[in-house]
Structure 1
Amino acid sequence: MKKKMKKKKNILLSLLLAGSLLFTGCSGGDEPEATTDSKTYVTVTDDSGAVVTDENGEPVTSVVGEQPEELELNVGFIYSGAAEGNAASEIFEAARGESERVLNAKTCYIENVLVSQFEQATAALVEQGCNVIVSTDARFANAIYDEALSNKKVQFVSFGGTQSLANLACFQGETYKSSYVCGLAAAYNSDSNILGVVADPSVLSVYSVINGFALGAKELTESQTDVRVNWAWGNKDSETMSAIDDLISQGCDVIFTATYSNFAVKYCEMKGIKVIGMAYNMPELAPERYLTGCFNNLNIFLIDVLRSFRYDTDPVEIYRGGIKEGAVRLVEVSEKSKEGTKEITEKLYQICLENKAAVFSGEIKDTNGEIRVAKGKTLSKEDICSINWLDSSVKSENFFTQPNTEPVPSDLTIHRSSPQGAESTTDGE
């Protein structure tokens, strides 16, 4: 990718100089010919509209004819599940709609794609004119890296990826701080002091999300914190039901759904259990029983990186954004939560917003009593993302996950429906 200017992005036209400059002799002799500078100059601004200046504080200018040609964005999204009914996909759908509105991009998607089908899905989208491919699942990270190596003329965006290229940008939401705040809200609203977590192994950095929740609860209940974790695939409703039923039987009266399954939240509502979910629309999914929730705000990154592709500037290669950057957000605390919930969660949220919350600071032990973070030490962001252990407050862990021996492949239909819910038109049927 060409490197035009470190201070990116759009060039807003503002005429500085256009016209002719006459030069005449001082005394005698032939008059020199008049010369004309017919170029139109512009000031260069960043996305906020501020004028970019050089090292001397002077405005940076550019000739209009030299501005980078805008790329017409044709963006193809690849989903591992359905575009609707899945909290993660629905957030990407919202971002897809935002890219159409803000950048006038053309978008489409293929849903229910297996990892083994990623190459085929990419080829189908590129054949239909897509010059940007967005992977929406961390399980596609290796596959999209290979595709980016093979398709240098196509730009790629990887959710959950850790290896970037000139044509591959990666991003991850730091959800552990928001789950930390959610853990405090859960502990404050629990009467049994037993908190449940139903977790999907495919959720990005799921161990850091669960541990963040447990450590947030510890802020209130300290050594008395009791968390029970049950694992279930988010796209398997029967597993999710069994996992939640088991948590309820253990005495859990608040359940955190560390899964992108909308069904998990709805089932807690149906069972009359207080629930905190990883979904932006918690009030809609569980109006009577939700306490709060957290979700990735993908618009922040995706619009920025697509704009950089449009103007041929350098995107962030690997982006890890959290509460402070607005890349992860909290759902407003329910009015049905205990009095005082909003106040204590807002206080902890503010600490996170100011980047003063050292969530993974020692001493922290795992379920086997092994010290994972020494006293006085704090894990780096990279180490937090790679956590594969559970905090000592987790008193039980059960697995309801079953191997999927007969995965159903996608038919690779390309959908061009509006993210706002207009009727779908498809290719390849």
Structure 2
Amino acid sequence: MNRRTLFALAAAAALSVTAGLPAHAADPLKVAFVYVGPVGDAGWTYAHEQGRLALEKSMAGKVKTTYVENVPEGADAERVIRKLAADGNKLIFTTSFGFMNPTEKVAKAFPSVVFEHATGFKTSKNMGVYESRQYEGTYLQGVIAAKMSKSGTIGFVGSFAVPEVLRNINAYTLGAQSVNPKIKTKVVWINSWYDPAKERQAAETLIAQGADVLTQNTDSPATLQVAQEKGKFAFGWDSDMARFAPKAHLTASTNYWGDFYTKTAQAVMAGTWKTGEVRGGLNEGMVRMSPLNAAIPADVAKLFEQKKADIMSGKLKPFQGPVKDQSGAVRVAAGAQMADKDVHGMNFYVQGVEGSIPK
């Protein structure tokens, strides 16, 4: 992470517009959250909701929070965000990539409100960006997947072909290739963040195509449940999903937002918030791996822990070279690191991922 520690990041997401302060210092800070899915999805939105609850607990009496769930990415999002700002919320978190443009538009109309947008790339005087380096955890999933796969083919249930999802597909593949250079990744896209029926169909398709270890960038446990029904393995996503498929669930790359939400609210209340980009991974505790399934052999667990330690120390970067795309073109030379702007704007498949990226 560029700003040393998650505290430094979130606090340095600090120095800002005093206009973000509540009208009276004694009044609770009104904080709102906009969710793309239901709080019970067990994935992305669930993790953000746990972050909201952690904020309420850590700042009891000092904040008053609210949320709106199941908000479509588009005109409805702008309407919801605008109403939350008009209702007096002084800090608004919009938690999906497709909320970026609506958030930017509303932020211009409410300069005294602080907006934080998850996974985007646009900032302004009163709008910041935050996200987890989830791909660090996905890389580790790939390491385990390659060791657990018998077919040499692993699967990925994709939501939308945006940079954050492509990063995870590629990191999953590169982690697997660090163990087995010949492994292949198949992807099925469902064009939704949360649709259990489509997720189930995608998982079934991947298994029919020979994939025997699956992961996802979607929010329900359907992929895991299909894997367990078919005697295969899979990974949880954004939260520990072991309770839904304990035999299939190998581990999960989970997001923890509570510290960031708390420190951001504290900064707004102190008048020290400033715009910027906050990104945290394993080392900062924004990404956490859930317990390993007992079915994972000891030598694989040891390799997993070593790779995890290497990522946390900075010795290992998921997109360090050599990295080639599907055509064989070198995207990152051996010994080099992929630039942050290229990581954040990723728009290609690495070699080993089959198929084409949807338009």
Indicate how the Cα distance of structure 1 residues 386 and 203 shifts in structure 2: closer, same or farther if over 3 A, else same: closer
Is 1:230–1:397's contact at 8 Å kept on the other side of the alignment?
Answer: no
Is 1:289–1:336's contact at 8 Å kept on the other side of the alignment?
Answer: no
Cα deviation digits, residues 365-415 of structure 1 (max 9, x gap) = 21222222233332112211111111111234597x9xxxxxxxxxxxxxx
Q: Which residue of 2 aligns with 1:258?
A: 217
Is 1:76–1:108's contact at 8 Å kept on the other side of the alignment?
Answer: yes
Q: Which residue of 1 aligns with 2:48?
A: 92
Is 1:73–1:310's contact at 8 Å kept on the other side of the alignment?
Answer: yes
Is 1:234–1:240's contact at 8 Å kept on the other side of the alignment?
Answer: no
Is 2:126–2:274's contact at 8 Å kept on the other side of the alignment?
Answer: no
Q: Secondary structure at the match of 2:271?
A: coil
Q: Which residue of 2 aligns with 1:110?
A: 68
Q: Secondary structure at the match of 1:278?
A: strand
Q: Which residue of 1 aligns with 2:20?
A: none
Q: Does 1:212 align with 2:212?
A: no
Is 2:31–2:90's contact at 8 Å kept on the other side of the alignment?
Answer: yes
Q: Which residue among 318, 324, 337 is the counterpart of 2:277?
A: 318
Q: What's the offset of the Cα at 1:314?
A: 2.8
Q: Does 1:353 align with 2:312?
A: yes
Cα deviation digits, residues 103-138 of structure 1 (max 9, x gap) = 122111112222211232123323443222110111
Q: Secondary structure at the match of 1:292?
A: strand
Unmatched 5+ stretches in structure 1:
1-6, 9-45, 48-67, 402-429
CA distance in 1, matches of 2:354, 2:128: 39
Q: Secondary structure at the match of 1:376?
A: coil
Cα deviation digits, residues 248-289 of structure 1 (max 9, x gap) = 112211111222233323332333320012132222122111
Q: Which residue of 1 aligns with 2:19?
A: none
Q: Secondary structure at the match of 2:124?
A: coil
4+ residue runs over 3 A deviation: 68-71, 126-129, 395-399
Higher helix content, 1 or 2: 2
Greater radius of gyration (CA): 1
Q: Which amino acid aligns with 2:39?
A: A
Q: What's the offset of the Cα at 1:85?
A: 1.6
Q: Secondary structure at the match of 2:76?
A: helix
Is 1:161–1:171's contact at 8 Å kept on the other side of the alignment?
Answer: yes
Q: Which residue of 2 aligns with 1:341?
A: 300
Q: TM-score, normalised by structure 1?
A: 0.73
Q: Which residue among 183, 192, 198 is the counterpart of 2:151?
A: 192
Q: Which residue among 20, 23, 28 is the counterpart of 1:72?
A: 28
Q: TM-score, normalised by structure 2?
A: 0.87
CA distance in 1, matches of 2:54, 2:162: 24
RMSD: 2.4
Indicate how the Cα distance of structure 1 residues 191 and 140 shifts in structure 2: closer, same or farther if over 3 A, else same: same
Q: Secondary structure at the match of 2:194?
A: coil
Is 1:164–1:170's contact at 8 Å kept on the other side of the alignment?
Answer: yes
* Segment drifting more, 390-399 vs 152-161: 390-399
Is 2:143–2:178's contact at 8 Å kept on the other side of the alignment?
Answer: yes
Q: What's the offset of the Cα at 1:359?
A: 2.2
Indicate how the Cα distance of structure 1 residues 136 and 102 shifts in structure 2: closer, same or farther if over 3 A, else same: same
Q: Does 1:227 align with 2:181?
A: no
* Segment drifting more, 150-159 vs 355-364: 355-364
CA distance in 2, matches of 1:306, 1:110: 18
CA distance in 1, matches of 2:225, 2:159: 16
Superposition map of 1:174-185 within 5 A: 174-185=133-144
Superposition map of 1:39-78 within 5 A: 69=25, 72-78=28-34
CA distance in 1, matches of 2:351, 2:164: 18
Q: Secondary structure at the match of 2:179?
A: helix
Q: What's the offset of the Cα at 1:190?
A: 1.2
Q: Which residue of 2 aligns with 1:328?
A: 287
Superposition map of 1:379-418 within 5 A: 379-396=338-355
* Segment drifting more, 313-322 vs 288-297: 313-322
Unmatched 5+ stretches in structure 2:
1-6, 13-23
Q: Secondary structure at the match of 1:85?
A: coil
